[in-house]
Amino acid sequence: MAPNKKYWVSTEELKKDTSLVDNLNQKEFIEEIPTDEFLGDKERLESTAPSRRDFLKYLGFTTAAATVASCEGPVRKAIPYVIKPEEITPGLANYYASTYFDGYDFANVLVKTREGRPIKIEPNNEAEGHTNARVQASVLSLYDTFRLQNPKINGEEATWEQIDSQVPDKLREVFKSGKQVVLLTGTCASPSTKKIVENFTEKYGPVKHIVYDAVSESAATSAFEKLYGTKALPDYDFSKADVIVSVGADFLGDWQGGGFSKGYMEGRKPENGKMSQHIQLEANMSLTGANADIRIPLKPSAQITALLSIYNEITGQDFATDKLVSEERIKEVADKLKKAGNKGVFVTGIQDENAQLIALAINKALGSIVINTKVTKNIRHGNDAAVEQLLADMTDGNVGALITYNTNPAYTLPKGENFVQALEKVDLSIAFAMHEDETAKAMKYVLAVPHYLESWGDVMPKRGRYSLIQPTIQALFNTRQFQDTLLKWTGNESDYTTFLKDNFEGDWNQSLHDGFAILEIEDESSTPEVQEVDYNIVAEELLKFEPKDFELTLYTANAMGDGQMANNPWLQELPDPITRASWDNYLTMSPTDAKNLNIKNITADNGALDGDTIDITVNGVTLEKVPVYIQPGQAIGSLGLALGYGRKSGLKEEMKVGVNAYSFYKNFNNIQNDVILSAPNGMHEFACIQLHHTLAGRHDILKEVSFHEYQHEDSHHWNHKHEFSMDHKGVPAEKANLWETYDDSTGHKFNLSIDLTACTGCAACVVACHAENNIPVVGKREVRKSRDMHWLRIDRYYSSDVSSFEEAKEEGLGRVEMYHGVERVAENPQVAFQPVMCQHCNQAPCETVCPVAATSHGKQGQNQMAYNRCVGTRYCANNCPYRVRRFNWFRYNENDEFDYHMNDDYGKMVLNPDVVVRSRGVMEKCSLCIQMTQATILEAKKEGRTIKDGEFSTACVNACSTNALVFGDVNDKDSKVASLVEDKRAYHLLDFIGTRPNVVYQVKVRNEA
Amino acid sequence: MNIVQKRNLVSNLLAFVFTTLFFLTFSLQAQEADPAKGKELFMTNCTACHQLDAKLIGPPLKNVAERRSEEWILSMVNNPTEWVQKNPEAKKLFEEYNKTPMTPFPQLTKEDVQNIIAYTSVGDEGIAVEAVATPLVVPGAGNPIYQDLKPQNSNWWWQPLVVLIFIAVVYFLAKKKQNFAAIFFAIIGVFTVAYFLFAYLLQIGVDTGYKPIQPIEFSHKVHAGDNGIDCEYCHSSAKHSKTSGIPSTNVCMNCHKFIKEYKGEVYGDYDKEFFDAEIAKVYESAGWDVSKFAYTSEGKPIEWTRVHSLPDFVFYNHSQHVNVAGLECQTCHGPVEEMHRVEQFSPLTMDWCISCHRDTEVNMDDNGYYRGTYEALQKAHKGATVADMGGLECGKCHY
């Protein structure tokens, strides 16, 4: 923790006289159990039923009943296979390589199956796979009961025979009529599907294939086409960069398909003596901005002028200088970029072709080696113009048949209702869909397609890279793949599997086993045609986006993405890394603007957050009662709203949260400036956990250092270890010990190292932990009461220079003035993420207070929790300084009050059979995935060999794509973690209280200079 | 007396001669064709495809000599491929039995074939059987209805009686105003009741001796004991996985494809027909049609009643104990090879688990795993027990 910084998690802490934060800090369980309220009122006590006498009767009866019932054990069945599949051994997991691609996220994955059920998604490391929170959660969507279980005709369930007998004839009719037949799909990037569609066209007639991405990168692909001749996305290897300048590009999030975080962090390893510098100019506080070394809040119109200024500086041109105000800090950014030369890179997230052109031109001028224009990415192919043309054609009645696959335009189009109306003029509408979503509901034929874990397929994510999708479970429902259906309709006898295999060149078995194949890239000797770009016009066009009082930036939330998986409770409950709110989307607004508009966020006594709602009108479209979340770091005059929420069809009632921001997505541009806001008109209840489980404002929780200091100053200055006086000598806090120590020098001793520099806060680990450890989903109401069950949370800290904070405190005495101070501090705070799970203390405070010894220390370093022993006193949670223990307030399985996956037979199939499902009234917490470490040990014992470094792992470690988490055995002196524990950056959380944790953090290094 | 003696002698002699001659006829016959030898040969060479009185892969062979000449049979046995091409009858058979060629047995001599033919003529009944297995009387096994073999207190009635006596004594003493004695007896009474109640509560959920009726009267004694089938032949995942695995029906079919008749020990109230019907249940589960010698339907799994059941919050791994520790199955499951119907042998309580963990030494010498970080421990602690290695920690079994 830098000495000149003040750390805070909520603006509430910055207010002067509020006891609220202190209260929250001091109590693990904020809500009192209302015993006094009940027992203190004698009259009420006597008048309420049941009376004390009744109570005793009930007590006696239930005790007797329970005793009698427990005498006879239930008769259990053991049902073996009739014919056991060769590859399945009950009790052992199988892994299959496959690929996740839903038109939005792409990942090479390994699917862990148990007894034929996929239960976990891991990244396929051989294929350089990386998983984000959504890919991790995708396995739960397989068991979604809201999936289409049969094909439907006009909303009625039908059979495939009916479909096959009706549809081809109708298609032929449409072709005869001469009207257009349109196939509208999301990006599928599948060579075999492309071939099947071609065959279909050959057989029936011209089919217009339009690709539509809900969150468009059409601007970027078009710009790339203009400069490089192919409609694709360039690839970026941020590990090669010295200076990264991003204008509104959330490249650690979902920008251009995501997946850049690994390379980004490879270029930011302070121990290698080199760290790239990352400068982010943005309006919303994004994940990328939170990780940036320097972040400049700029509203979209200012981003555009900055973009042009940087372009002018780099290229020496002077476009539109009359309209650009020369700003010193922007000039500095440009200078840094210029200085970095070909090791600089410039990216922008503004979904405007001209902005993308400028970015590419800057990289070209720099000669950047970070951008790769040869190996292009295919995972976004949407064509916005074609989609708009389709809508016009549909309205004019020119479209005879519309076939949709993997797309939901009725929800994602800015005017979805227009699409639904225009559908009436289409003679034949066929939707291939997994859910009865907004689009499928409006279509005549709805053909149920399987989940990717039940499907075959191939994806070509980038040139030269071929990935295979293989089924890992028999189809759960009466579904048929899109490709199979098309093959059938074209009269092809073979199924898609055979087709895929026949069209595959290379070693099929090996590629299927690996999940991917590397193809040789043909060298394109002929340079494609490139258009001349007049940057004067580009600049002019860009500047048409005029500065307004409020400008909106639409973004995709870390959890929900484009909204396909809205019915996934893991994702709904995943707190946003920045706002720490779950189960919602909201308008983010800067504290200054909020004050001017008299909009408040109020933290209730129990830590729950309430916020004002307002009506927002963008381009004449109004969304009513949108909650406002006051976001520190939001650029003044800018607003943010997440896409992917506000789904209305094909999902559980409880998942229908938030507002549909796609209604504002005019021209497929994420920045909009025609915004009108109303006065606050109501209150909204957030499920925000930012003040829950905080570490009570103790200092030295998060340690930070600048790269310069890290290199040139002794670690004593920036990673100070507390000392205590023992025998008149200074002894490090960790050595001063009141307790008897364990002999843990033999056998394994597990340590987990968490590098705060490398952690981007992406929360893939949180979902991985959910999946691995059968963690229940508790729902919005319970999250508000700080009863979320996440074993692993990612704390987000804001920090600001102490001078301004102190000034504010000193200056502002009254509440109003204090607010003023809050704004100044909260204008542009720095952000740091800190994953916190059970620290597995060697001298654990929880162990000593448990009256029944349910939690105890393991020789291997794990603090163990025996659920069956726990009686639920919650003493341990109250005594845990890290606030990582979670209490089961209810039975979260088989309980209609918590109607999530653990309450239905399909959802329960995702449970990990090696981890027990906890019951009501017991405490639970991170076990350092003891089921995984034990399995590794057993495997080695069976094979009679020692364990190599890297074999031990946990769910969170596997899910981390930036290797921020490293796990291993410190008694193995050659292990990576053993050296990390000794690193000069290593520190223990709250080391001065002498808990001697087995989780170690690495000081965050920022390259601020 | 002498004469009488002589007559006896003569008659005895005559009897001896005749008997000898009688037996000689038998042995002479045996020299020509011995059905006992034939049976042996039949069992080793033919049973994979033939049975006496039913179709298998090949035709039934009972009284085959009545249908075919000896020469025909010999040709078929020694060189079936050639014979099928030469002989129209053989060809017809070949067509009839799905064109499955017969395995040639050139090693079988003419004499061997004659012996086999002799066996097919007389059948099992024609061979002197040493002794018909006397039905084993298993006490208590007579009643096929579910028996709860939990240790039952036949004289449970004394408990309430004792309580009543105590109450009566206390009441009597209280009435006599013997307050001290009344309180004294009351306290003793409460403690006595508490003691027995506690003992009773302790055994709740401990199902030692649980011996449920299974959907198929499968005898572990017949399979593992009498026929000596290795436990892991059927429970094959015990050395790989956390569960030992209930064998799938296809494992049963490995043998029962050919064994459709019960020839083992007949026990309890059951008879051979009963056991044959039990074997038929396996065929039903497998979807196997005996007459067609083929799988004809999908089959359905057998719903066994689970005998050993640990609570969900306990992690137990068979491979850890069977494969790594090298325990015999019987150590925990008892003499299963002597049980017709399996019952729970061990209490499966935590006390039982950890007492074994306390006593059992870990064999570190033979397992390469202990070479690594355990080397110091190995040197320091010769004869470390499972408990020394952390085998008593809660988290090792509860997660």
Tens digit of pLDDT for each residue in B183-198?
Answer: 888 888 888 888 888 8
Burial class (CB in 10 A: 0-12, 13-18, 19+), B38: buried
A123, A959 Cβ separation under 8 angstroms: yes
User: Among A206, A203, A209, which Cα is nearest to A178's?
Assistant: A206
d(CA A324, CA A310): 11
Nearest chain B CA: its distance from A950 CA (Å): 15
Pick from B299, B303, B320: CB nearest A77: B303
Nearest chain A CA: its distance from B251 CA (Å): 8
> So what's the pLDDT on residue A605?
77
Nearest chain A CA: its distance from B299 CA (Å): 7
Model confidence band, residue B134 (pLDDT cutoffs 50, 70, 90): very low
A554, A670 Cβ separation under 8 angstroms: yes
A372, A260 Cβ separation under 8 angstroms: no
d(CA A496, CA A437): 25
The length of chain A, given as a count of residues: 1009
d(CA A731, CA A488): 77
Pick from B368, B380, B396: CB nearest A945: B368
The first and second tokens of residue A339, run together, are: 């200085």
The tally of CA atoms less than 13 A away on the side-chain side of residue A37 is 4
Q: Which residues pair with A556 in a beta bridge?
A: A643
A477: CB partners within 8 A, 6+ apart = A147, A148, A149, A150, A448, A450
d(CA B112, CA B39): 10
Nearest chain A CA: its distance from B34 CA (Å): 42
> So what's the pLDDT on residue A144?
94
Q: Please judge whether A92 and B394 are an interchain contact, meaning their C-beta atoms are less than 8 angstroms apart.
A: no
> So what's the pLDDT on residue A823?
57
Number of Cβ within 10 Å of residue B152's Cβ equals 10
A994, B398 Cβ separation under 8 angstroms: no
Model confidence band, residue B143 (pLDDT cutoffs 50, 70, 90): very low
d(CA A921, CA B330): 38
The first and second tokens of residue A1004, run together, are: 């965050």
A941 contacts on B by Cβ (under 8 Å): 320, 324, 367, 369
A232, A265 Cβ separation under 8 angstroms: no
Q: Please judge whether A915 and B399 are an interchain contact, meaning their C-beta atoms are less than 8 angstroms apart.
A: yes
d(CA A844, CA A856): 8
> So what's the pLDDT on residue A52?
74
Q: Please judge whether A864 and B305 are an interchain contact, meaning their C-beta atoms are less than 8 angstroms apart.
A: no
> So what's the pLDDT on residue A249?
94
Does the structure show a pLDDT above 50 at B136? no
Peptide bond into B247 cis (omega under 30): no
Pick from B201, B285, B373: CB nearest A82: B285
Select the more confidently predicted residue: A320 or B138: A320
Q: Which residues pair with A857 in a beta bridge?
A: A863
Window 849-878 of A: residues touching B by CB (8 A cutoff) are: 854, 856, 858-860, 862, 864-869
Interface predicted TM-score (ipTM): 0.85
User: Among A438, A461, A482, A411, which Cα is nearest to A196's?
Assistant: A482
User: Among B97, B33, B107, B212, which Cα is nearest to A72's?
Assistant: B212
Number of residue pairs across A and B with CB atoms under 8 Å? Answer: 167
Burial class (CB in 10 A: 0-12, 13-18, 19+), A169: exposed
- The domain B35-126 is placed in CATH, from the list 3.40.140.80, 3.50.50.60, 3.40.50.300, 1.10.760.10, at 1.10.760.10
A748–B contact, CB cutoff 8 A = yes
User: Among B60, B85, B62, which Cα is nearest to B75's?
Assistant: B85
Does the structure show a pLDDT above 60 at B3? no
Torsion of the alpha carbons at A803, A805, A806 and A807, rounded to the nearest 10: 80
The first and second tokens of residue A857, run together, are: 């220390």
d(CA B340, CA B97): 38
Does the structure show a pLDDT above 80 at B31? no
Q: Please judge whether A73 and B207 are an interchain contact, meaning their C-beta atoms are less than 8 angstroms apart.
A: yes
Most B-contacting residue of A82, A745, A949 (CB-CB within 10 A), to test interface: A82
DSSP B160: H
> So what's the pLDDT on residue A235?
94
Stated pTM of the model: 0.86
Residues of chain A with pLDDT under 70: 1-4, 14-18, 25, 34, 37-38, 48-50, 68-72, 523-529, 692-699, 801-825
Long-range contacts of A518-527 (CB under 8 A, 24+ apart): A518/A464, A518/A465, A518/A466, A519/A464, A519/A465, A519/A466, A520/A464, A521/A374, A521/A375, A521/A463, A521/A464, A527/A229
Start and end residues for every CATH 1.10.760.10 domain found in chain B: 35-126
B372 contacts on A by Cβ (under 8 Å): 946-947, 972
- Indicate the helix (H) or strand (E) that contains A553: strand A551-556
User: Among A463, A476, A381, which Cα is nearest to A187's?
Assistant: A381
A742–B contact, CB cutoff 8 A = no
Q: Indicate the SS3 state at residue B232.
A: helix
Domains in chain A, start-ordered, CATH in brackets? 5-15+694-1006 (3.30.70.20), 152-216+382-514 (3.40.50.740), 235-374 (3.40.228.10), 548-688 (2.40.40.20)
A969, A747 Cβ separation under 8 angstroms: no
Pairing of β A117-123 and β A106-114: antiparallel
CA distances (Å), origin A553, targets A216, A406, A558, A661, B245? 14, 26, 15, 10, 57
Select the more confidently predicted residue: B30 or A863: A863
B395 contacts on A by Cβ (under 8 Å): 856, 858, 862, 864-866, 927, 930
Q: What residue spans of B129-267 are helical by DSSP H? A: 158-175, 179-202, 220, 231-234, 249-256
A931–B contact, CB cutoff 8 A = yes
A68–B contact, CB cutoff 8 A = no
Number of separate helices (H) and strands (E) present in chain B: 18, 3
A858 contacts on B by Cβ (under 8 Å): 390, 393, 395-396
Q: Please judge whether B250 and A80 are an interchain contact, meaning their C-beta atoms are less than 8 angstroms apart.
A: no
B203 contacts on A by Cβ (under 8 Å): none
> So what's the pLDDT on residue A104?
93
Number of Cβ within 10 Å of residue A678's Cβ equals 15
> So what's the pLDDT on residue B30?
42
